[in-house]
Homo-oligomer: A and B are copies of this chain.
Amino acid sequence: MKVAILGPRGTFSEEAARIFSPDAELQMAGDIPTVFEKLESGDCEYGIVPVENSLEGPVGITLELLLERQARIYGEVVVDIHHALLALPGTGTGDLREVISHPHALAQCKGFLKELGVKTRNFPSTAGAAREVGEKGLAGTGAIAPRGAAELYGLAVLEEDIQDVDANQTRFLVISREDHPPTGRDKTSVVIGLKDRPGALYQCLGVFAKRGINLTRIESRPSRKALGDYLFFIDFEGHREDPHVAEVLEELEGSLSFLRVLGSYPRFGQGGG
CB contacts (< 8 Å) of A208 on chain B: these are 199, 202
Q: Count residues of A near B (Cβ-Cβ below 8 Å).
A: 39
Known contacts A167-B225, A198-B213, A202-B208; 20 additional CB pairs below 8 A are A53-B222, A54-B224, A54-B225, A54-B226, A54-B227, A54-B229, A55-B222, A56-B60, A56-B222, A57-B221, A122-B122, A167-B224, A167-B226, A167-B227, A198-B209, A198-B215, A199-B214, A201-B215, A205-B205, A219-B220
Say if the beta carbon of A216 comes within 8 Å of chain B: yes
A222 to B: closest C-beta gap in Å:
5
Contacts of A227 in B (CB 8 A): 52-54, 78, 167, 169, 171
A75-113 near B? 1/0 per residue, CB < 8 Å: 000100000000000000000000000000000000000
The interface residues of chain A, by DSSP majority, are classed as: mixed
How many angstroms between the C-alpha atoms of A208 and B202 in the bound complex? 9
Q: Which of A22-57 contact B (CB under 8 A)?
A: 52-57
16 contacts between A and B (CB under 8 A): A52-B222, A53-B222, A53-B227, A56-B60, A57-B60, A57-B222, A78-B227, A165-B224, A198-B209, A199-B209, A199-B214, A202-B206, A202-B208, A216-B228, A218-B230, A219-B220
4 closest residue pairs by CB, A with B = A202-B205, A199-B209, A54-B227, A198-B214
Interface residue ranges, A against B (CB under 8 Å)? 52-57, 60, 78, 122, 165, 167, 169, 171, 198-199, 201-202, 205-206, 208-209, 212-222, 224-230
A215: B residues at CB distance < 8 A: 198, 201
Closest residue of chain B to A218 (Cβ to Cβ) is: B220
Shortest Cβ distance from A217 into B: residue? B228
Chain B's nearest CB lies how many Å from the CB of A42?
25
A55 and B222 alpha carbons, distance in the complex (Å): 6
Residues from chain B with Cβ under 8 Å of A214 in the complex: 198-199
Interfacial chain B residues near A198, Cβ < 8 Å: 209, 212-215
CA distance A2 to B30 in the complex (A): 47
Measured between alpha carbons, how far is A229 from B55 in the docked complex, in Å?
A: 10
Minimum Cβ distance to chain B for residue A267 (Å): 11
**Chain B, residue nearest A122 (CB):** B122
Set of chain B residues within 8 Å of A52, measured between Cβ atoms: 222, 227
Note all chain B residues with C-beta closer than 8 A to A212: 198
Chain B contacts for A56, CB-based, 8 A:
60, 222
Q: Which residue of B lies closest to A199 (CB)?
A: B209
Smallest beta-carbon distance A112→chain B, Å: 16
